[in-house]
Amino acid sequence: MNMILTTITQEKKRIEYMLTKYKEEQARLPKGSISVKNVGDRTYYYLKYRDGKKVISQYISKSQINEIREQLEKRKHIEAMMKSLREELSIANKVLEDAL
- Could you report the per-residue pLDDT of 51-90, keeping only the tens digit for each? 999 999 999 999 999 999 999 999 999 999 999 999 999 9
- Could you report the per-residue pLDDT of 1-44, keeping only the tens digit for each? 689 999 999 999 999 999 999 999 999 999 999 999 999 999 99
- For residue 49, the cross-strand partners are 56
- For residue 33, the cross-strand partners are 48
User: At 27, which amino acid appears?
Assistant: A
Query: Alpha-carbon distance 68 to 62, whole Å?
Result: 10
Q: Which one, of 84, 87, 95, lies nearest residue 8 by Cα?
A: 95
pTM over 0.75: yes
Ordered by start, the domain boundaries in the chain are 2-99
Q: Integer distance in angstroms from the first to the last C-alpha of the chain? A: 12
